[in-house]
Amino acid sequence: MPFHHCHRDPLPPPGLTPERLHARKQLYAACAVCFVFMAGEVVGGYLAHSLAIMTDAAHLLADVGSMMGSLFSLWLSTRPATRTMTFGWHRSETLGALASVVSLWMVTGILLYLAFVRLLHSDYHIEGGAMLLTASIAVCANLLMAFVLHQAGPPHSHGSRGAEYAPLEEGPEEPLPLGNTSVRAAFVHVLGDLLQSFGVLAASILIYFKPQYKAADPISTFLFSICALGSTAPTLRDVLRILMEGTPRNVGFEPVRDTLLSVPGVRATHELHLWALTLTYHVASAHLAIDSTADPEAVLAEASSRLYSRFGFSSCTLQVEQYQPEMAQCLRCQEPPQA
C-alpha cells in the first residue's frame, strides 16, 4: 500500500481556474447587459405608467444581484483560508443569494401594493406604445443574456476537488464535471425571465390595440409577481439548507455510511457528519471503528478514496479507532434519527 497523505491533490495554483475565468467573463457580460436593460425598463415603465414593466425590471434587479453575488464569491474564493476563516470565504455566495432574495421580496411587495391600488381605483393611464416598445426590448435583452450564458466553456480539468464534482451513488473512479454552477443557475433564471417578458409583451400588445383593457397591466403584475416570488423558493431552500448545515443535496446519509462500512476492516461508524459549505463544496467527517488486525493507514486511505471518488466531497476528516463492543450501547455512537 503506497504512503497516504491527507492532501490527495497538489496545491492548486493561485487565482482562478480556466473554467472559473471563463465563467467570470460570462457573468460580467450578462450582468452588464442585465443592468443596462434593467435601467431601460425602469425608465420605460415609468414613462408608460406600467407596473408590469416595473415587475419585469424587479426580476432583472434580482438577476443583477445574484450575478454580482456570484462574481463577488468568485473573487473571494481566491483568498486563502485564515485562522479565523478556516474554511475560506466560500459561503459568501450563499449570503449574496439570501440578500438577492430579500431584495426581490421587498420590491415585489411594493409593486403588489401598487397593483392592488390600481385595481381598486381605475384613475390611471397606460402608454401602450411605450409599454410595447419596452417589453419588446426586454425580450431581446433576455434572449441576449441567454445566448451569452449558454456559450460553452473551455474543457474541464480535474486538477483539484470542489466545484467540479458531481455526487454519485455508484460511479467511476474519477468524479464527473458539473460545469460552473453560478453560470448554470443564472442561465436557468434568465429562461424564467424570458417567459415573464413574453407575458408582459402579450399584455402590452393587448393594451396597445385595446386601451380599454388597461387592467391587464395590474393583473399581469399580480401573476408575474407570484412567479417571481415562486422562483426564489429553490434558492431559499438551498440557502436555508446550507446555513443550517444540512446534508448536501443528492448525497444521502445511508449511502455514505454503507460506503464506509464496506471498507475492509471497518466494523462500525459513528459521529458521521455531512454538510454543505456551499452548493458545490461538500464536507464529511466520521469516526471509523476498525478490527484490531486492520491497518489504520490502509483503512484511512481506502475510506478517503471512496468518499472522494463516489461522492465528490471537497474535504473529508476521518478518525480511526479500535472497535470496542461497548460502542453498540453508547448513546453517542448511535445513528441520528430520520428527519
Residue 6 maps to a domain:
no
| pTM value surpassing 0.85 | no
User: pLDDT, tens digit, for every residue of 135-186?
Assistant: 898 888 888 888 887 755 444 433 333 333 333 333 333 333 334 556 766 7
CA distance 261 to 269: 7
Same domain, residue pair 124 and 53 = yes
Residue 167 maps to a domain:
no
* DSSP-assigned letter for residue 49: T
User: pLDDT, tens digit, for every residue of 24-60?
Assistant: 888 888 888 888 888 888 888 888 888 888 887 877 8
Range scoring the smallest mean pLDDT among 1-5, 266-270, 316-320: 1-5
What pLDDT is stored for residue 327 in this prediction?
A: 84
Burial label, 55 (beta-carbon count in 10 A; 0-12, 13-18, 19+):
buried
User: pLDDT, tens digit, for every residue of 178-237?
Assistant: 345 567 667 777 777 787 788 888 888 998 898 888 888 888 888 888 877 887 888 888
CATH number, domain of 318, equals 3.30.70.1350
Same domain, residue pair 84 and 184 = yes
Residues 6+ apart with CB under 8 A from 264: 294, 299, 302
Residues 60, 38 contacting (CB under 8 angstroms)? yes
Same domain, residue pair 125 and 274 = no
CA distance 277 to 279: 7
User: pLDDT, tens digit, for every residue of 247-280?
Assistant: 998 899 999 999 999 999 999 999 999 999 888 7
Residue 143 maps to a domain:
yes
